[in-house]
């Protein structure tokens, strides 16, 4: 009986839930800061019957997924500290769903190791005490993977529908996934037309279509607001602009509109950094900020494309710097790094070398992989490719860690069934 309960993931990982709650309680700031203020503001807007202000001064900086979650808490006047405790629950459930997923395609030992690795993943502690979207996104990714694998095993259509609904909500929470599902739909539709093995591709298309249907109300809203089709948000232009910066010592990380660099660590005096940034960007930004928010987004994109055309090699270097920031939290423009970079290098190196080994095994054995692994790998590759094309940080990588652990865990659990030879 004890062994049975010990193998229950809800009990097995419960100590982490207790620790997470404790960690949030002692580390939560007394006031909202950073992106918390924006999500809180959007939730208040929803309580008053709208999401973005009307034209010309729209605000579609992020999707409505997380603000929708916050609405009932704000309606009941629940303090922020208690809302933040839901991060502990989300991360705990993400671990449980990852474990349950691997139990279906690997074994208990591998599932437990993967669950523990997600539980102690260094960046998870950083996201716990703040009202950001990462904790809920990690949970949604794990739940999505679980429904995919369950559907692959029992072929009950309800799980494919649930998977599509979850993926749709992921899009509303992280709007970059809107472009991911559109690209994914295009890829799978092409493969559906030209491949004989149409069943797996049909399943992929159906899940992506359901996810897209979930986003239609939001897209209709943004169309009514902006008269633009497939308009997910107006933050992409500024992100792309900073990503394409052609100047030396600027590596594609996002700067704030006031040209300060106080969102990320820096040791240069702010006045010195501001002076450099103003020299490089004030002329362009002064012109762009004279326009309304929708026009600003378009002008930022135009300026970004000019930068790419002018300095394509620098854009490639910035793209690689983005990949490095996702993995190692380095480099940042005009900033020295502290000793934490050593930990980041160790963690990032384990991820990248594990992924390289996994990629080799995957490519050799592609035909033997089950449908959910192929599906999430394609989605993950598209997501990382798009994320690196904009200003990227560890936050973009963190939410996909459950997928990476699932993938490596699946390969480890099925190595005996796979060939490591390049020829038969």
DSSP 211-270: HHHHHHHHHHHHHHHHS-TT---SSHHHHHHHHT--STT--S----TTS--TTS---S-H
pLDDT score recorded for residue 336: 74
Q: 66 with 205, same domain? A: yes
pLDDT score recorded for residue 260: 47
Q: 110 with 249, same domain? A: no
Q: 39-63 pLDDT, tens per residue?
A: 999 999 999 999 999 999 999 999 9
pLDDT score recorded for residue 189: 86
pLDDT averages per 10-residue partition of the chain, 424 residues: 70 97 94 93 96 94 97 96 97 98 95 97 90 97 97 90 98 97 92 72 90 97 96 94 94 72 44 84 92 95 96 96 93 79 86 94 92 94 96 94 97 77 41
Q: 80 with 195, same domain? A: yes
Residue 422 falls within a domain, yes or no?
no
Residue 346 falls within a domain, yes or no?
yes
Residue 50 falls within a domain, yes or no?
yes
Q: 190 with 80, same domain? A: yes
pLDDT score recorded for residue 252: 92
For residue 283, with 0-12 CB atoms within 10 Å meaning exposed, 13-18 middle and 19 or more buried, which class applies? exposed
Q: The domain containing residue 285 runs over which residues?
A: 236-328
**Contacting residues for 299 by C-beta, under 8 A, at least 6 apart:** 237, 287, 288, 291
Q: 26 with 79, same domain? A: yes
Q: 76 with 182, same domain? A: yes
**Contacting residues for 381 by C-beta, under 8 A, at least 6 apart:** none
> How far is the CA of 165 from the CAs of 23, 162, 170, 392, in angstroms?
32, 5, 9, 26
Number of domains in the chain: 2
**Of 308, 328, 348, which residue sits at a domain end?**
328
Q: 285 with 323, same domain? A: yes
Q: 58 with 155, same domain? A: yes
Q: 276 with 163, same domain? A: no
Residue closest to 332 by CA, chosen among 340, 294, 102? 340
> How far is the CA of 75 from the CAs of 72, 135, 269, in angstroms?
5, 22, 42
Q: 209 with 183, same domain? A: yes
Q: 316 with 355, same domain? A: no
Q: 114 with 201, same domain? A: yes
Residue 424 falls within a domain, yes or no?
no
Rg (CA), the chain: 22
**Contacting residues for 130 by C-beta, under 8 A, at least 6 apart:** 28, 29, 34, 35, 36, 84, 87
**Of 304, 328, 352, which residue sits at a domain end?**
328
Residue 423 falls within a domain, yes or no?
no
């Amino acid at each position: 009986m004890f062994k049975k309960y010990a193998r229950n993931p809800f009990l097995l990982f419960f100590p982490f839930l207790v620790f997470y709650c404790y960690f949030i309680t002692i580390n939560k700031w007394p006031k909202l800061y950073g992106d918390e203020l924006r999500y809180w503001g959007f939730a208040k807007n929803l309580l008053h019957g709208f999401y973005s202000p009307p034209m010309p001064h729209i605000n579609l900086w992020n999707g409505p997924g997380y603000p929708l979650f916050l609405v009932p808490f704000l309606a009941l006047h629940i303090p922020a500290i208690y809302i933040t405790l839901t991060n502990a629950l989300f991360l705990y459930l993400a671990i449980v769903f990852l474990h349950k997923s691997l139990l279906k395609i690997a074994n208990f030992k591998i599932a437990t190791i993967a669950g523990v690795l997600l539980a102690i993943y260094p960046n998870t502690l950083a996201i716990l005490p703040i009202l950001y979207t990462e904790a809920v996104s990690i949970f949604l990714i794990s739940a999505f993977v679980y429904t995919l694998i369950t559907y692959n095993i029992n072929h009950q259509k309800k799980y494919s529908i649930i998977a599509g609904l979850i993926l749709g909500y992921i899009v509303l929470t992280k709007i970059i996934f809107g472009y991911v599902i559109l690209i994914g739909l295009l890829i799978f539709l092409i493969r559906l037309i030209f491949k004989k093995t149409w069943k797996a591709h049909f399943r992929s298309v159906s899940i992506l279509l359901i996810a897209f249907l979930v986003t239609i109300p939001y897209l209709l809203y943004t169309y009514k607001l902006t008269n633009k089709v497939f308009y997910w948000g107006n933050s992409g232009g500024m992100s792309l602009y900073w990503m394409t910066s052609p100047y030396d010592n600027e590596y594609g990380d996002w700067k704030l509109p006031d040209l300060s660099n106080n969102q990320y660590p820096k040791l240069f005096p702010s006045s010195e950094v501001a002076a450099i940034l103003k020299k490089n960007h004030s002329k362009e930004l002064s012109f762009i900020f004279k326009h309304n928010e929708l026009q600003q987004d378009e002008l930022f994109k135009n300026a970004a494309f000019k930068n790419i055309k002018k300095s394509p090699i620098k854009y490639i270097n910035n793209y690689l710097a983005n990949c490095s920031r996702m993995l190692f939290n380095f480099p940042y423009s005009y900033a020295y790094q502290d000793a934490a970079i050593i930990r980041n290098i160790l963690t990032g190196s384990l991820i990248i070398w594990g992924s390289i080994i996994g990629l080799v095994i995957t490519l050799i054995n592609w035909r033997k992989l089950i449908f959910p692994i192929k599906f999430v790998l394609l989605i993950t590759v598209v997501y990382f490719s798009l994320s690196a094309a904009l200003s990227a940080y560890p936050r973009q990588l963190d939410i996909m860690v459950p997928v990476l652990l699932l993938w490596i865990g699946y390969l480890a659990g099925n190595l005996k069934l796979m060939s490591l030879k390049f020829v038969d």
